[in-house]
Amino acid sequence: MDQKTEDFYKRLKEELANSTVWPSEYLFKFIIPSDNHKIAIIENSFDNMGAVINTNASKNGKYTSISVNVTMKSAQAVVDKYQEFSTIEGIISL
């Protein structure tokens, strides 16, 4: 992981830790190229967590937006999820 990315995750963790009482609900939002395997990776990662997952294909079907509303235990848990998904090619985390 490069320094810019490392700094981003550190700043995100600090902001979440200072602005939220944990555990708390968190809304993850992603845009990925429409690929059932990539969608399944994200959905399966939230199995048994009580997550509410909504997917929506773009008008032309090239991309899929995924919203995941889930209770997370800590700011570090949120950062860990973002890092887990950073290996998915073409993912955009919002």
16-51 pLDDT per residue, tens = 999 999 999 999 999 999 999 999 999 999 999 999
Question: Which of 3.30.70.260, 3.40.47.10, 3.90.1300.10, 3.40.50.1980 is the CATH number of 3-93?
Answer: 3.30.70.260
Query: What pLDDT, on the 0 to 100 scale, is given for residue 54?
Result: 97
Proportion of the chain above pLDDT 70, given as a percent: 100
Helix axes of 75-85 and 3-19: crossing angle, nearest 10 degrees: 150
- Answer whether the bond into residue 33 is a cis peptide, omega within 30°: no
How is residue 35 written in tokens? 């690929």
Q: Is the pLDDT of residue 1 over 90?
A: no
φ, ψ of residue 87 in degrees (nearest 5): -85, -10
Query: What pLDDT, on the 0 to 100 scale, is given for residue 5?
Result: 87
Q: Is the pLDDT of residue 58 over 90?
A: yes
- What is the enclosing helix (H) or strand (E) of 50? none
Domain boundaries, the chain: 3-93
